[in-house]
């Protein structure tokens, strides 16, 4: 007895979900006719699940498996039918005659990529429907807090936009090996980011999934570090960056960015007292800044981990997936709603762990600026000086402590006037205990490598 064809599991009384059977048949027929369309088609589709009809999924999977199996694959209705027969799926897809029907249904092989785009579009629409149904069901049953439901819905919608599914996840050593070898041959990790300070680059690099914590006392230069680093990645390296600032507003952030990039005194920019020479410097820096669409400064009130996560997904959906996040600063972040009995140390610990999880989720470095306790003022700091929680030390992959060697009266005088030390107190992937000295140019809102202007 002939087995029935596989069909989607849908309610026959419900409207059909978005699909285009003609485009699916045309793509499969084109792949059977001309194997040169297989690779560009695979590049456009997320996988076999993009096809609406289950027997089309089976045929597509069989064609791509055959294609990947040999350097000179033979792809046509006869060879594909033989493979389907061997796997016991030939009758389920409609038999060998159906494969010939697919070939006959191709209007033009040259339009295969366009047909694949139609398939992908409909697959994304179905994914959106699935995400909204899931969110609706969770909301109707109160299965979690509103924030949790919104976060889950945004993750589902972002996955639909990116075309990712659980089947895309590759965790085996075999999946990772060749990429690792490529990195070894290249002599560096292509995903790692550098800093604008060459001496610091000799000690650390910013890798995906890492939490890098930069600590300093009040007025110790941590915001300068964060903005200088973000500007380097966004403006010099051309990679999208999010600065989540809980300490300064947008106007203040722009003043500091302009001071550092244009070389105009920060005080003049804040007070809006510029002379002709200052304007000339600003005009020279203007093209670099007015086109910085990839440099996002978020000074929203009450920034939480959920809001930062939403902003990152917004950036990805806008076609600029973030390469790095700078959070300024950790202890000013608003904790997510929770138990009333949580201590401040527990809240900061949750924030620290949350930033680490963000780094891992988006596979980017997250740079968290953090405040020292007051008793750290006037001496060289240690990793135990972070305000409110010791969890910061545990969660961080890299810890950089900033220290200005001031005179005993607190003035910036003496043999090391105008300098600041970056102490690499923790470095899971390299040497710890190294100290890198930089030039502190507070009036220009920037830090510079020694020997450079």
Does the pLDDT value for residue 167 go beyond 90?
A: no
Asked which of 62-71, 278-287, 362-371 is least confident by mean pLDDT, the reply is 62-71
How many Cα atoms occupy the beta-carbon half-sphere of 8 within 13 Å? 18
Query: Where are the domains positioned within the chain?
Result: 1-166, 190-449
What are the phi and psi torsion angles at 86 (to 5°)? -65, -30
Ordered strands of the 324-328 beta sheet: 295-298, 241-245, 324-328, 366-371, 211-216, 398-403, 419-427, 434-441, 446-449
How many Cα atoms occupy the beta-carbon half-sphere of 139 within 13 Å? 13
Is the sign of the CA dihedral 103, 107, 110, 111 positive or negative? negative
Beta partners for 242? 296, 325
pTM beyond cutoff 0.75: no
pLDDT of residue 160: 65
- In angstroms, rounded to a whole number, what is the distance separating the alpha carbons of residues 446 and 257? 9
pLDDT of residue 399: 92
Is the sign of the CA dihedral 165, 168, 172, 177 positive or negative? negative
Give the percent of the chain with pLDDT over 90. Answer: 36
pLDDT digits (tens, 9 = 90+) for 75-96: 999 999 999 999 899 999 999 9
pLDDT digits (tens, 9 = 90+) for 107-138: 999 999 999 999 999 998 888 888 888 888 88
Q: Once rounded to an integer, what is the mean pLDDT over residues 398-424?
A: 81
- In 307-393, DSSP assigns E strands to 324-328, 366-371
Asked which of 197-201, 300-304, 330-334, 412-416 is least confident by mean pLDDT, the reply is 412-416
Confidence of residue 350 (pLDDT cuts 50, 70, 90): confident
The H or E element that residue 347 is part of is helix 344-362
Exposure string over 222-246, b if 16+ CB within 10 A, otherwise e = bbbbbbbbbbbbbbeeebbbbbbbb
Residue 231's nearest CA partner among 445, 452, 449 is 445
The H or E element that residue 434 is part of is strand 434-441
Q: Are strands 211-216 and 398-403 parallel, antiparallel or unpaired?
A: parallel
Domain 190-449 has CATH 3.40.50.300: yes
Residue 207's nearest CA partner among 181, 226, 188, 231 is 188
Confidence of residue 17 (pLDDT cuts 50, 70, 90): confident
CA dihedral (8, 13, 15, 21) in degrees, to 10, reads 40
The H or E element that residue 255 is part of is helix 250-262
Same fold, 1-166 and 190-449: no
> In this structure, which topology does domain 1-166 adopt according to CATH?
DNAb Helicase; Chain A (1.10.860)
> Is the previous residue joined to 329 through a cis bond, with omega within 30 degrees of 0?
yes
């Amino acid at each position: 007895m002939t087995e029935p064809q596989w069909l989607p599991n849908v309610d026959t009384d419900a409207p059909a979900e978005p699909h285009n059977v003609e485009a699916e048949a045309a793509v499969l027929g084109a792949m059977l006719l001309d194997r040169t369309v297989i690779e560009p088609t695979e590049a456009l589709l997320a996988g076999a699940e993009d096809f609406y009809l289950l027997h089309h999924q089976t045929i597509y999977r069989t064609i791509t498996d055959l294609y990947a199996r040999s350097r000179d694959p033979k792809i046509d209705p006869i060879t594909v039918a033989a493979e389907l027969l061997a796997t016991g799926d030939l009758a389920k897809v409609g038999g060998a005659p159906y494969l010939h029907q697919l070939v006959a249904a191709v209007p033009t092989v040259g339009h295969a990529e366009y047909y694949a785009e139609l398939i992908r579009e409909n697959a994304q629409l179905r994914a959106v429907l699935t995400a909204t149904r899931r969110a609706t069901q969770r909301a109707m049953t109160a299965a979690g807090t509103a924030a949790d439901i919104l976060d889950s819905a945004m993750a589902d919608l972002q996955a639909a936009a990116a075309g990712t599914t659980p089947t895309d996840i590759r965790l085996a050593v075999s999946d990772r090996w060749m990429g690792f070898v490529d990195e070894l041959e290249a002599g560096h990790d292509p995903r790692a980011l550098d800093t604008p300070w060459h001496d610091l680059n000799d000690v650390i690099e910013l890798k995906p999934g890492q939490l890098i914590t930069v600590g300093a006392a009040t007025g110790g230069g941590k915001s300068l570090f964060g903005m200088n680093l973000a500007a380097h990645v966004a403006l010099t390296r051309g990679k999208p960056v999010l600065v989540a600032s809980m300490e300064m507003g947008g106007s203040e952030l722009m003043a500091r960015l302009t001071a550092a990039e244009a070389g105009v005194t920060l005080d003049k920019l804040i007070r809006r007292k510029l002379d002709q020479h200052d304007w000339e410097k600003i005009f020279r820096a203007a093209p670099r800044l007015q086109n910085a669409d990839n440099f996002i400064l978020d000074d929203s009130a009450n920034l939480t981990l959920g809001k930062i996560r939403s902003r990152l997904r917004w950036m990805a959906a806008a076609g600029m997936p973030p390469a790095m996040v700078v959070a300024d600063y950790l202890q000013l972040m608003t904790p997510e709603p929770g138990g009333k009995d949580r201590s401040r140390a527990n809240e900061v610990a949750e924030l620290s762990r949350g930033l680490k999880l963000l780094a891992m989720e988006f596979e980017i470095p997250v740079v968290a600026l953090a405040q020292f306790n007051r008793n750290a003022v006037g001496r060289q700091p240690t990793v135990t000086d972070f305000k409110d929680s010791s969890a910061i030390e545990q969660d961080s992959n890299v810890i950089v402590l900033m220290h200005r060697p001031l005179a005993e009266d607190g003035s910036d005088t003496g043999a090391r006037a105008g300098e600041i030390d970056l102490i690499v107190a923790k470095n899971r992937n390299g040497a710890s205990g190294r100290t890198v000295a930089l030039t502190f140019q507070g009036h220009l809102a920037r830090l510079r490598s020694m020997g450079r202007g």
